């Protein structure tokens, strides 16, 4: 599945599944993120991705219970580079619920990358997944706003600068107007 997207500023992008061959690119892109973006992603100081983390983030993606998508922006020559990754991981003990995480390069934040990725991620979610259960940093306003756009929210304190968020997902995922899929 490859989908086309346009960001808020009109930038053209493609969204496709993260592949095992993307392992080193994920590692390299993570190194370019600010300390704040890294901490918001993992709710802890994680200066570098370990091999074990990459095993989980890349190698364990199965496209069913662990879906991960990359957004690549295109220039006028249709050459692009990845600027964001979103993932949804279904809980084994709660098959109707999943966690979500989105990481966007600092220079591309607040431009609609997360919105485009989440719209496509919700389309790709496993049948029967009707809730998102996740924990976010209380000061991560961008993530909280993103989760509010997904559906009805319940937010509860979860300890030191953390919030647990439950989102009831709609049948039809929200998001910007999308082009038809352009791949197999």
CATH architecture of 3-127: 3-Layer(aba) Sandwich (3.40)
Write the burial class of residue 64 (CB in 10 Å: 0-12 exposed, 13-18 middle, 19+ buried).
exposed
95 DSSP assignment? T
φ, ψ dihedrals at 136, nearest 5°: -130, 160
pLDDT at 182 over 80: no
User: Does the pLDDT of residue 183 top 80, yes or no?
Assistant: no
Residues 12-29: pLDDT tens digits?
Answer: 899 999 989 889 999 999
Enumerate the domain spans of the chain. 3-127
pLDDT at res. 156: 97
Give the pLDDT confidence of 99-158 residue by residue, as tens digits: 999 999 999 999 999 999 999 999 989 889 999 999 999 999 999 999 999 999 999 999
In the predicted structure, residue 94 carries a pLDDT above the cut 70 = yes
Please name which of 103, 40, 24 lies closest in space to residue 70, comparing C-alpha atoms: 103
């Amino acid at each position: 599945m490859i989908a086309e997207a346009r960001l808020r500023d009109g930038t053209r992008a493609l969204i496709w599944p993260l592949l095992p061959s993307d392992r080193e690119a994920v590692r390299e892109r993570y190194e370019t993120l600010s300390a704040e973006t890294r901490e918001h992603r993992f709710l802890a100081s994680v200066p570098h991705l370990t091999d074990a983390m990459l095993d989980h983030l890349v190698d364990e993606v199965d496209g069913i219970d662990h879906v991960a998508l990359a957004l690549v922006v295109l220039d006028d020559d249709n050459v692009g580079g990845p600027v964001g990754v979103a993932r949804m991981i279904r809980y084994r003990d709660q098959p109707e619920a999943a966690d979500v995480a989105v990481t966007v390069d600092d220079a591309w934040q607040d431009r609609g990358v997360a919105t485009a990725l989440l719209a496509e991620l919700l389309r790709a979610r496993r049948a029967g997944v009707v809730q998102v259960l996740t924990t976010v940093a209380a000061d991560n306003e961008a993530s909280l706003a993103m989760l509010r756009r997904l559906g009805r929210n319940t937010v509860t304190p979860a300890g030191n600068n953390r919030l647990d968020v439950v989102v009831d997902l709609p049948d039809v995922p929200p998001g910007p107007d999308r082009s038809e899929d352009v791949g197999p």
